[in-house]
Amino acid sequence: MMSRIARFLPWLVFFFVAAAASAQKDKAPEIRYVAPDKFERATTKDDKGLLQWAEWKADKCQSCTGTGKTRCSTCWRFTEDAKHCVECKRNKDREAACRACAGLGHWPDPLEKVHCPQCFAAGFVLCLLCGGSGQIKTDGGGDRFGACSMCRGEGGFKCGTCNGARLVEVAALKPSLKEANAAALQKAIAQAEQTMAALDAVKPTGKATRKEVKDLVKAYGLGQATFPPLKRTSKGLEDVIGKVYGGNQFQGFEEREANTLNAFKQHTDYFLKHQKRMLELAHKRAEANEKVLAEQKANKGK
Ligand SMILES: [Zn+2]
Ligand SMILES: [Zn+2]
Ligand SMILES: [Zn+2]
Ligand SMILES: [Zn+2]
């Protein structure tokens, strides 16, 4: 009974990604992500008195009710005649893979998979110049549109961290996050904390972007040995910001640069909080098991 409640618990503590407040009648689809520090993972005691991970029983995703699809999070703000959308390609129902469950219909085992620290399970990085439509107003004036120069009409960029897979691997511990010993887990927790603090210390303003990118890359560097996806995200940040610089002749570039850096920060923060939580659960289990084994050894020696 208790484990049943525990399994549902994360779903009660949703948080919502702030969607841009819109005066339009159409609203952003509601995507419910599990708060990263609320993930639960049950254990059972085996006949040797050791804690083993219980099988992961995935509940239906609440955002898509298990279908793996939701209304597109990108083009709901476009006009009806928009032809292109980076996310749903303007398919008939304007449906896209559910970002809460990465299109699976259920939440994956948090000991094995986690939301991508770059794209946050969108599978792509949105072009902030055109907002995903691939079209911008041309210099000629009036209402004429042409292909967006930043994304070359794509509306976004493929995510280099997950390569479009939306989810990434968890901390690289030996033999695995699940089975690592308490000391290794403790070290990884400290690294997650250190990286989070360094990322948090960077406050992007759009006025000193090159310096801010450097600081973020440095912060990523602190965690990338334990969390390999951070290495790819750091590279992705440099790639994406390079493209954003290409839009400097357009109005609002400072805001665009700050928004880009803040999106990286937010998505990586979720990733690290999630990892810290799972490492803590694994540490609790490893520590308990190591204690039992030490006691058994001591008793044998008597
Ligand atoms: Zn879903
Ligand atoms: Zn769309
Ligand atoms: Zn674009
Ligand atoms: Zn990604």
Whether residue 242 is predicted with pLDDT greater than 50 in this model: the reply is yes
pTM tops 0.85: yes
| pLDDT number for residue 141 | 66
Q: Which ligand is nearest to the CA of 62?
A: 1
DSSP designation for 98: -
| pLDDT number for residue 6 | 46
Q: Which ligand is nearest to the CA of 246?
A: 3
Rounded to the nearest angstrom, the distance between the alpha carbon of 99 and the centre of ligand 1 is 6
Name the residue among 244, 286, 260, 273 with its Cα closest to residue 50.
Answer: 286
Q: Which amino acid, 66?
A: G
Comparing 70 with 4, which gets the higher pLDDT? 70
Q: Which amino acid, 168?
A: V
Rounded to the nearest angstrom, the distance between the alpha carbon of 150 and the centre of ligand 3 is 5
List CB-based neighbours of ion ligand 1 within 5 Å. 61, 63-64, 98, 100-101
Beta bridge partners of 60: 106
Rounded to the nearest angstrom, the distance between the alpha carbon of 12 and the centre of ligand 4 is 26
Rounded to the nearest angstrom, the distance between the alpha carbon of 68 and the centre of ligand 4 is 17
Rounded to the nearest angstrom, the distance between the alpha carbon of 76 and the centre of ligand 2 is 7
pLDDT, one tens digit per residue, over 5-56 is 444 444 434 444 434 434 344 788 999 998 999 999 999 999 999 999 999 9
| pLDDT number for residue 9 | 43
Name the residue among 269, 127, 261 with its Cα closest to residue 197.
Answer: 269
Rounded to the nearest angstrom, the distance between the alpha carbon of 262 and the centre of ligand 2 is 23
Average pLDDT, the chain: 90
Give residue limits of the domains in the chain: 63-107+124-158, 172-302
Kindly give, in sequence order, each residue whose CB lies less than 8 Å from that of residue 289, ignoring residues fewer than 6 positions away.
50, 51
Q: Which ligand is nearest to the CA of 33?
A: 1
- The CA distance from 288 to 3, in Å, is 19
List CB-based neighbours of ion ligand 2 within 5 Å. 72, 74-75, 85, 87-88
pLDDT, one tens digit per residue, over 92-104 is 999 999 999 999 9
What is the distance, to the nearest Å, from the Cα of residue 8 to the centroid of all Cα atoms in its chain? 21
Kindly give, in sequence order, each residue whose CB lies less than 8 Å from that of residue 271, ignoring residues fewer than 6 positions away.
114, 115, 116, 117, 168, 227, 229, 230
Rounded to the nearest angstrom, the distance between the alpha carbon of 107 and the centre of ligand 1 is 8
| pLDDT number for residue 64 | 96
pLDDT, one tens digit per residue, over 162-201 is 999 999 999 999 999 999 999 999 999 999 999 999 999 9
DSSP assignment string, 144-182 = -EEE-TTTTTSSEEE-TTTTT-SEEE----SS-TTT--H
Give SS3 for 296.
Answer: helix
